[in-house]
Homo-oligomer: A and B are copies of this chain.
Amino acid sequence: MARPKFGQIHSGPSGAGIERGEMVLPRAAKTQRRTRIQEQKEERILEAALEVFSAHGFRGSTIDQIAEVAGMSKPNLLYYFRTKEAMHRALIDRVLDTWLDPLRELDAEGNPVAEIRSYIRRKLELARDFPRESRLFANEILQGAPHIEDELKGPLKQLVDEKAEVIRAWAKAGKIAKCDPYHLIFAIWSTTQHYADFDVQVRAVLGQEHAGEGRFEDAARFLERLFVDGLQVRE
């Protein structure tokens, strides 16, 4: 009994030596390393949480819903994540990185038009293959980003600043048309994510006949052409 055990005793944010980073771990982890069962369960919970949060937003989701989707009892979820917010937080942290990967890959040394073209394609593939992740962010930002303000002003802004500089350099070198790089990035974000975030509207407008995945092909063709032609230098 060198330490008091802190099994279920965590009623309050000041848990006597419990550090912020450990919060995600189950409370009774004396062994320090995560067992296989922990990883599996946390995985299942986060998968379920993604399903629910992305569809209803943070406040619109209940722990019971997540528990049902995960096939576990509510207290069992709360054994792995102490609060609803901890689940959401873990989800955002995990997703943010992969969500920004396409922008990271924008290569200053590559051919500018080809780089932008494949950036668009990668973003569109993300929207097609991971719409829930996209909607998770959209929900969050739409409601004022109450949980991720720091990430936006920190790492996100930093990355965008960096890549904006790359684009500005391309423009200055005459390789693409002069344009505001920030608004170019916004335009690529919005047009591509639109197909994930506003999927219901897109489907409704396109109608039954375009119910398949063909709309992503059409969108890719249209967007690549729009941005390439719109940015090409002429005269």
A183 interfacial contact with B, CB 8 Å? yes
The segment from A19-27, A39-47, A52-60, A76-84 that touches chain B is A52-60
A113 interfacial contact with B, CB 8 Å? no
Interface residues of A in 175-232 (CB under 8 A from B): 177, 179-180, 182-184, 186-187, 189-191, 193-195, 197-198, 200-202, 204-207, 218-219, 221-223, 225-227, 229-232
A157 interfacial contact with B, CB 8 Å? yes
- Interchain CA distance A28-B204 in the complex, whole Å: 38
Chosen A-B contacts, 15 in total, with CB atoms closer than 8 Å, are: A57-B59, A135-B142, A141-B198, A142-B197, A144-B200, A145-B204, A149-B204, A152-B201, A152-B204, A157-B204, A180-B218, A180-B222, A186-B195, A190-B190, A227-B230
A interface residues, Cβ below 8 angstroms from B: 55-60, 135, 138-139, 141-145, 149, 152-153, 156-157, 160, 177, 179-180, 182-184, 186-187, 189-191, 193-195, 197-198, 200-202, 204-207, 218-219, 221-223, 225-227, 229-232, 234
